Structure 1
Amino acid sequence: MAELIKNEGNQVEFKVTVPAKEVNTAYNAVIGSLTKQVKVPGFRPGKAPKSVVVKRVGQDYVDNEVRDQLLQNHYPKALQELNLAIVDAEIHPEGITEGQDFNFTVKAEKYPEVKLPEWQSLELTSAAPEITDEIVTKTLGDLTERNATFENVDRPAEEGDMLIIEEQGEEGGSYPVYLDTAEAHIKTALLGKKAGEDVTIEVPEVDHGDHKHEAQTVQVKIKEIKKKNLPELNDEFAKTFKFDTLEALRDAIKRDLTTRAEQEGKLAQREEFAQKLADGMEVNVPSSLVKRRKESMLSEIKSDLQRQGVKFEEYEKFMTEQGKFDDFIADLDKNAMERVRRELALEQLVEDLKIDLTRDELNGSLVAFAQQNRTTVQELLNQLGSSGLEGFKASVRRDKAVAQAIATLEKAAQKEEPKAEAAEAQAPQEEAAQPEAEAEAPKAEAPASEE
């Protein structure tokens, strides 16, 4: 039997009483299991008296086993009886004795009540970027850049050249420098120089936020200067990409860019919708959810640093020395809260729209995700495990809910378009009729003749 003690906001406290009869049943079950497992000298397996078995393993061990079994059975039953969805809980069991009732109290945070805004009236401004002829032309230009060739020249370095330089010093080595993309201080040092010249490059201090590169002087020697030759944009160039004409290549590029733009537009719409949904909802976010999300994000950061060969303790020390660790933690708190709010909003949307997944939808999402990560579905399932798979399903359901909501908004907008067009068409007619009415008005109000 569960009794509600406190229910305020997200905080709830309740007490559960397990009748003595069920306590005795649990004791008998535990001791019966131990009798079969524990070997007692002088007795055949399973034949030792109850008191001997208990003495053999200890009364505390038996009590703990019974208590754990009762908690596992009656805690979820209490949640169901009180109709509670719990985020985090502290269970406080009282002492347990055979033949007596067993009591335990629970202090917990409830899953919050979420009230979404009237999303059916939301206006989304995100759209696919327009693919203009200028964008297609620029993309063609980038394609020629990637297919450029370089030839050695005997002259000073000019814009667009590629230089092979050799860095002096113990850690030196040869590498190419492309002047059209080089940083300003490198370009300034190398322009106008000839092959064989020694050059001093002054590298300024660079602040990357979480670390700095001190200013330094680098000595290099120019080994070669190469002129860039761009291929001519014509049908022959198109044929290197298996197109008969340059126009066919342009059309293919425009189709590809349009497809990508549409995908970007849909993604931007989903992001905008989810953000507006989260910003407009009413909810008292449980602190335990934010704490859990923060710990998860911090764990990801530590893993990323470890892959780079950096210990988190070293990173923390550096950030503290720079006076930025407090800002790092503040940003982490803020991002954790934003993620939790968005997840709560989308979960409520899933519930409101009664979203579920068919087997085909789940399988299709698994196949797409596996291909994206260059693995097989079976390997993906092995990596996810049972809990990971449930999280994957939840993510797919949220995506489906957002897509369905946006489709609803688009249908509503399409219904409004004819009304707006009709209103626009009616407006000029009303404006044209207005002067006629004004012209007739003086006749009606003209003063009578003096005669």
Structure 2
Amino acid sequence: MAELINREGNKVEFKASVPAAEVSRAYQQVWAGLSRDVRVPGFRPGKAPKKVLEQRVGAGYVENEVRDRLLQVHYPQAARELKLSLVDAEIHPETLKDGQAFEFSVKGETYPEVKLGDWKQAQLSAAAPEITEDVLERTLSDLQDRNATFESVERPAEGSDMVMIEEAGEDGGSYPIYLDVAEPHVQAALTGKSKGEEVSITVPAHQHGDHEHPEHTVQVKVLDVRHKQRQELGEEFAKSLNFESMERLRNDLRAELTRRAQQEGEAARREEFIDHLVAGMQTTIPQALLTRRRDAMMEEIQSDLSRQGVKWSEYENFMKEQDKLGEFMADLDKNAESRVRRDLALEQLAEDMKITVSDSEFNQTMQALAQANNLTAQQLRSQLGPEGLNSYYASIVREKALAQALAQLTPKTEAAEQPAQADAAQNQGEQPEAQASSEEAPAESQGSEPEAQAEEAQGEEAQQSE
């Protein structure tokens, strides 16, 4: 049970109480876990007395574990019960004892007041890319290229040949160059060259990642010239990709392209709607909220660098040397503000639509997330902590609100067609009929590795069709 103590502007204070029965249950769970996991010499598993177990794990361990369990569950519940969306909070637990109610108080800051525009009148123009015959043929052509073979030829390199070269120098090595997709300066240098020739390739100045590379020359030797042999489209080609027929290959490709195009359309429609929400939003964002988000993003960046074996101090010094640290920090601030605005808009949308997520919904989502990360639900809760659980709950609410709002909107093209259809029907003395569309379900997959190659090609073609 939660009780609001004080609220002034964005500052809020509340307290919550956990029933004694739940406290006792938490104690039993912690003791059961210790009895199962802690091995004590001279005692069979699960038979060691509590005092002996406590000596093994240290004084206060059980109370800390129980306290954490209770806060992980009841802090987010209390915030939801009081309909508080907290930016930051300080949790002050009181005395904890088995068989007695546990109380804690919270002082925090809520999100600022937000007013949204009339989003229900938004007309979204984003739609799925059209999968035309030309798109399908380009996908098939790409599949032919991906599954082509190369045969050595005794002539100068040309067209779509593959040229095997050996780079001079200690760091050199041999590798293939596919002329039809190579950089223009590489194509120009190698086209017309034959096996055994030595070639100087001038590489223009360019930027790779965070590194500036000046113009330089690479010395290579042509080891071999190989001509691309593409298999003709037909039944044999389809069977080489583990499809029973060319017709089945075409049908499966079209179905997969359509599915991916629909996903792209849905993602584009989602982003268009969020942009519309943010543009029509009125609010004043506290600097503390922006700072909190920027610091969280900085922690993510530093963690990513650490996993790559790079210290933040080294990366920071590199940016200073390149005179790019100021630009980096400005971009970080800009991205932090953009994310905060998006979250505020979606949270207000959820509040306006009275979106809720039940405990059972939340627990099911937590269980699925835990399984996806090879964790138990309790391990995931422990990793997230009370604040993380509260943030995760908020993200689920935002996603639910976004999905329901999008379902209420009519794409711009349909909105423009409906009045015209109504007028035409009225002129004919008929009522306008809803236009139903049926979509063929993707055919059952037949291939394994060859089909994976086909899917890659399909994804590229769907992007090109935008």
Q: TM-score range by the shorter chain?
A: 0.5 to 0.7
Decide whether the 8 Å contact of 2:123 with 2:411 is kept in 1: no
Q: State the shift of 1:321 in Å.
A: 2.6
CA-to-aligned-CA distance 1:223-249 (integer Å, 9 cap, x gap): 111111001101111122333332221
Q: State the shift of 1:360 in Å.
A: 7.0
Q: Which moved more, 1:235-244 or 1:351-360?
A: 351-360
Give aligned pairs, total: 350
Q: State the shift of 1:219 in Å.
A: 0.9
2:272 — aligned with what?
272
- 1:382 corresponds to which of 368, 380, 383: 380
Aligned amino acid, residue 119 of structure 1: W
Decide whether the 8 Å contact of 1:381 with 1:389 is kept in 2: no
TM-score (norm 1): 0.67
Decide whether the 8 Å contact of 2:125 with 2:413 is kept in 1: no
Decide whether the 8 Å contact of 2:367 with 2:376 is kept in 1: no
Q: State the shift of 1:397 in Å.
A: 2.2
Q: State the shift of 1:110 in Å.
A: 4.5
1:249 — aligned with what?
249
1:343 matches 2:337: no
Alignment partners' CA distance in 2, 1:380 and 1:178: 52
1:166 — aligned with what?
166
Change (3 A) 1:302 1:252: same
Alignment partners' CA distance in 2, 1:164 and 1:379: 53
Larger Rg: 1
Decide whether the 8 Å contact of 1:86 with 1:111 is kept in 2: yes
1:194 matches 2:188: no
Change (3 A) 1:143 1:427: same
Alignment partners' CA distance in 1, 2:148 and 2:364: 41
Q: 2:409 is paired with a residue of what secondary structure?
A: helix
Change (3 A) 1:219 1:426: same
Change (3 A) 1:407 1:297: same
Q: 1:244 is paired with a residue of what secondary structure?
A: coil
Provide structure 1 residue ranges, at least 5 long, that are not aligned to the other structure. 15-71, 73-78, 92-105, 430-451
Alignment partners' CA distance in 2, 1:369 and 1:227: 49
- Pick 1 or 2: higher relative contact order, CA cutoff 8 A, min separation 6: 2
Alignment partners' CA distance in 2, 1:298 and 1:348: 26
Q: Which moved more, 1:406-415 or 1:135-144?
A: 406-415
Provide structure 2 residue ranges, at least 5 long, that are not aligned to the other structure. 14-70, 72-78, 92-105, 430-466
Change (3 A) 1:397 1:107: closer
- What are the residue-to-residue correspondences of 1:17-416 with 2, within 5 Å? 87-88=87-88, 110-208=110-208, 210-357=210-357, 362=362, 375-376=373-374, 378=376, 382=380, 384-387=383-386, 388-410=388-410
Alignment partners' CA distance in 2, 1:187 and 1:207: 20
Aligned amino acid, residue 260 of structure 1: R
CA-to-aligned-CA distance 1:151-186 (integer Å, 9 cap, x gap): 111111112111111111111111111111111111
Change (3 A) 1:145 1:365: farther
Change (3 A) 1:394 1:85: closer
Aligned amino acid, residue 380 of structure 2: N
Alignment partners' CA distance in 1, 2:265 and 2:83: 42
1:421 — aligned with what?
421
Change (3 A) 1:160 1:324: same
Decide whether the 8 Å contact of 2:278 with 2:341 is kept in 1: yes
Alignment partners' CA distance in 2, 1:214 and 1:264: 38
Q: State the shift of 1:275 in Å.
A: 1.8
Alignment partners' CA distance in 1, 2:389 and 2:84: 25
Q: 1:402 is paired with a residue of what secondary structure?
A: helix
Alignment partners' CA distance in 2, 1:300 and 1:338: 17
Q: Which moved more, 1:407-416 or 1:276-285?
A: 407-416
Aligned amino acid, residue 195 of structure 1: K
Decide whether the 8 Å contact of 2:367 with 2:377 is kept in 1: no
Decide whether the 8 Å contact of 2:112 with 2:284 is kept in 1: yes
Alignment partners' CA distance in 2, 1:357 and 1:282: 26
TM-score (norm 2): 0.65
Decide whether the 8 Å contact of 2:123 with 2:415 is kept in 1: no
Aligned amino acid, residue 201 of structure 1: I
Q: State the shift of 1:133 in Å.
A: 0.4
- Percent identity of equivalent pairs: 50
Alignment partners' CA distance in 2, 1:255 and 1:394: 35
2:432 — aligned with what?
none
Q: State the shift of 1:428 in Å.
A: 11
Q: 1:180 is paired with a residue of what secondary structure?
A: helix
Alignment partners' CA distance in 1, 2:107 and 2:367: 42
Aligned amino acid, residue 257 of structure 2: L
Change (3 A) 1:153 1:3: closer
Q: State the shift of 1:202 in Å.
A: 1.0
Decide whether the 8 Å contact of 2:160 with 2:228 is kept in 1: yes
CA-to-aligned-CA distance 1:238-282 (integer Å, 9 cap, x gap): 122333332221111011100111111111111111121122111
